[in-house]
Structure 1
């Protein structure tokens, strides 16, 4: 009991963490590392690549839902990003093998539905509730069936199991009350009966995991404009098989500064899953750095000729003096009826896209690739699905604020259209817009508008491919963000 008390005290003194696998997945790659000889290129795994090709066209909500469900089934121990990597692949195989299907491959629709149902059942059984904690200011998921006891503490809240063997603490420090360096030194200090199993510190966060002879802890702090916030989980090792997955679910739910997230929404998970071929980025499928990165975008534009940019007419309704790459963008033609605008930017260095427009309307349910806004001022690449509404074609996708004019490509890399309108006050969940339907200006309409303005169709159909990145490649260098001074 004395040893357990010492462990609980150490856990309570910490304030934010993850299991090593999850911690490594959430840690950003260092900006510079010592040069090492490049390892021999591994041979492509055709089964893995086929699974990737089947996973990526799924709506983002389903991709993230599968990863979340696999956390709850005990098969996935990484960040829920919606990107496909070795962890997701292995988790899908593990579930299928346990369900009686040992053959490698991507699960069919029936099996995916079973995975989602199993995850939902496990989540409900734990009474896992994502809630705001007013005492610390964080948003966090709490397995209320296990952690039924709740009590206030300085700068946060404690949730604890009835027997005291599992404790979840939230903690906050105001500006100037603490700093990450001091916290990191404290939580990684050597102890007679505690071993640090993983530690990482960056400018704005730290993660530390540890063990005693009988217990485990997960610690994580994040620094923001209003101070430092975090959480700690401490639990008996004997409970590891059940509590480990709860730790992963709690860590994936954690939002340290929800008010800041609402004010400046960002795509979830600014990194890729370990083992994924996608570049580390804010959106699920990667991001492309373009001129003008840094300011919050109000719209997206496609460079269709030297110095000429096609965008949504709705962008000009809220900003009379838009800028692209820091330069003034002069409206040449705005057609509110078709929802399109053509702008001129003298000296713009981005290349013209050379895309051809799709010559037929999208069929409802067609998979598309969308180049929309990223809150950091760049371009976010994500998947979506076409639909049909009373006023014409629609797009269902996880677009973030500033995505009016987002460029939509079909799987052959052809221009399928532009997002006509993004709401001024979108519904946000933890600072992020979930998948929604948006009106779409079709590719044929866009081509007609350009022809009327003496801009001929491009000579190429873009880049086709089995992955989002491959499809987006042909347009990536021609997509820009519009900002408003």
Structure 2
């Protein structure tokens, strides 16, 4: 009869675990300190694993009343007595210590230190009334008297003269036949709950169907083996409690619960213990990380059609929350984007539904894949549109921070640095400064085309790039074959502001010297107010011939140069580098001056933005 009652109780617990959001919400509120502030507890032990803690809790419960098991932080599980008022806790702790029934280092603790309760299974002792001091004193007084014959369990401290109690043998677990009998009392939801927990632990990989076939039995036996149990393939009532309690504690740490946003027209389960609502910034609903979880959720909601969907697909891939590396799939009415960069793992899905584009992005720190996969699975399965309602285009914009580096509150991915470069042949080969590609994980041209570093010369400060997809330049360099005239007008084409402007600009100056300050014959000194983004750009004479490449600004120890001093590597050095690496550049003699508009068009056609990404 006892085993049938226990099995029936277990059935209710197992069935309730299927409703994961409800469980997570219940445990989250239990752990959040909503309980009465007057509760005091006695912590008598802490164990590093749930299994060890359950064993110790059962041992103490055979000798003492009011024994509970709580998770107490980190990976520790506590054996806790209570609850009491403050005076009652002190009386009880002193009596139990004097009787030798609890360790001498036991101490008073508080409800705020206790998290999920794992024993007794299904109990919520945090909401029970505390034992008063008068009751504790009465129990202590009664317990000082000799116990009546037949007493087997001590609920309070005994006098010092009483014999020392020896710890009883752990209760015998069910036999395989008894375990099968109690298992038959489980309903379908209870069986599915066990499969879900086994799947979470990594033992079960088949369908969650509530049918205990060969696959389920093998997973149960593997779980039993790893925990030192006899691998019968049938979990006993106690083992089922252990498995489910362990799974429940993890689910409670995520706080998965349903969330409905009428304004966005979205219903979805969110990890409420990891994120909290922050703000609206159309077309996004932002949930920022809670505590130090590092998790973020972004809901997507806007009115639109396929063009809106495809535009969003492109825009999202420019954001920091969507790493570059990972699979992408765009279909007629939906898309998914996955990515990881060593710091975060991101998943985005969106679809056309009810005349709107709706979806979500889950951002999770790397190294916690099991919990991430659980949350992602629940978000995918629960996500639904509530109808044609979507965020208005101006939602949250009045309070939004406007920045070129932000898109509706999300940070746009930006390169570590951007410099200039220019085409040196009709194939689209690009010359730039070595500084532009040094230490880069990825190099792009005009932010849209990935390029490989074909050659690098740190001594000259040059780098040669070949785009992974062939490019057809509007113009490319023709290098000057004669020495330029001293004091002649020159212009540098470059992305002075590192890509903030959509096209290169021309900076005008003059050729001041045909050598460097220390007589370097390969350098030309220019009087020209260049900016860091101009480095790598072509230096042009008045006829559009390339005289060389602008170098990054030079720094000297204990010396500051006057403003407007720049240096260029001359054409002979540049063409020598190109020839060494299989590029035959075009050459030209000095020609007639070009009209400024024509010079600008030629410079813009050959100059590119080179960006370095980590």
Fold conserved between structures, TM > 0.5: no
- TM-score for both structures, normalised by structure 1: 0.35
Larger Rg computed on CA atoms:
2
Higher relative contact order (CA 8 A, sep 6+): 1
- TM-score for both structures, normalised by structure 2: 0.28
